[in-house]
Structure 1
Amino acid sequence: LAVIWLFWLLRVLPVNSDISVKCGTKTMELSILLCPVYYGGYNESLMSLNAQYLKAECHGRADWSVNPPVLKFSFPITEEGISITQEVGTGHFSDYSSVQSVNISGIIVSVDPSAGTITYRQELMYLFSCRYPLQYLINNTDLSVLAVKDNNGSFISTLSMQLYEDGNYLKHLKIPEGGLKLKTKIFVEVKATNLTERFNVLLDRCYATTSPFPINSTSYDLFVGCNRDGQTMIIANGGKQEARFSFEAFRFVEHKNMTVSVFYLHCATRLCEKAICPSLLPVTEPPLRSRSRYLDMALHLAHRTHQPLT
């Protein structure tokens, strides 16, 4: 510890590396190095979230068991701390004219109990933020992924896709080894769980491909916006925290010499504010400059259709 303190004697002001941020789906976690806090004449009791010194829940907890010691903050993501930004889609979602993101920011700041008209202490201030994109590609029914990189989080771990065999969405679809019969109705639900009620689920596009990875794969759109396949029915979309549709089992023509036709289901999904969701529902088909965009986070569910014997 003495070596660490000697090192921090050379430091006067905190730098970016003094704080680390973890952007979770339910909570945000911060860790601040304690040595520069003590060197600045403060301690853990004099640091608080958003200058809320009188609230116990806004104070951190000192962890002296790690090297170097840190001051830890953990607080839930609430609607009060959320701001929504809207921008033109880029990268995987460059086909979309409007993509929303959640931004959460705040400050950890010191209080000087001895300050009067003047003070000789340098105020310590740590700014932090997390950005959560609200556009995702859901590829299967089981995978749960939380991406934490560059202080950006993801709500994809709250999203799931399930298949059902009934319109009441009560009985999960079980695909037999021999596959499903052609024109078997399949009910699909993309659902958000453990997510603030501020957001709804909106499906922009759902499609099937002959390969788990859509790149260089034959694809067939079940629906894109309001344009849909004749056998596809959009049951609920954008109005709740679950979106639902149904389609009928089919075969890809390129599988004509195969007993079982295997295909993979993908849904481009976004989380949108309830008030904004209706304005995001497209009335015409958006341009599809690339029909095989794919996010690197997929294990896929195969849907099998049975070829009738002749």
Structure 2
Amino acid sequence: MWLFTLTLLPILFASSTGKCVPNKADVIIVHCYPKSIVAKIPECPYGWEINQLALGGVCYNGIIESGYYQFTIPDLSPRNKSYCGTQSDFKNPIYHFYNSIVSNDSTLIVKSQPVNYTFTCTYQSNYLVSHAAFDQRVATVHVKNGSSGSFESTLSLNFYFNAKFSTQKEAPFVVETSDIGSDIFAGVEAKGISNRFKVVLNYCWATPSPDYAYHIQWQLISKG
């Protein structure tokens, strides 16, 4: 009898410590940082463990931090990207980001009360892009083609609506606030050139100034 009791006690102890104490406090703390969002809820909400809660219902990336379950959204790109189900919309000049922390564990036989902590962060757009435009001046290139003579070719920088590069945007391409975070499709077109020549871009960079030698440069193509 004593052997049975001594064997049973460790099993009961392990079972009691493996399950967290249910917390019925409906509280969520949200920190809206410039480049990230951090959401915290009390540990063990209604009996749910950290590995049973998902950000956006898809990402089990929560950590335990000082009595809270903490979930972080490190990417606030407003267009074409969605980190762990993060949604966004833009109503000039305001950005809204939405997500939720939900219970999501289909393996449980006896489930705790479902939880769904929805949160929103709102940002004022501080980008001054109302007068921003790309410099699309045309360059004329003189080519000396040996015995075949010389010719002129014009090179122009064009912007397109999508990755098919089939429809051009009107020049000059002016950046709108809603364009922040979206992809820009650009191409260099050569006119007055025979099919024996190809346009190859070895280097391409962007500057915040019409001066191509401006000290601030963002490399787009390097040693292409």
Shorter-normalised TM-score: what interval? 0.3 to 0.5
Higher relative contact order (CA 8 A, sep 6+): 1
- TM-score relative to the length of structure 1: 0.32
Q: Which entry has the higher C-alpha Rg, 1 or 2?
A: 2
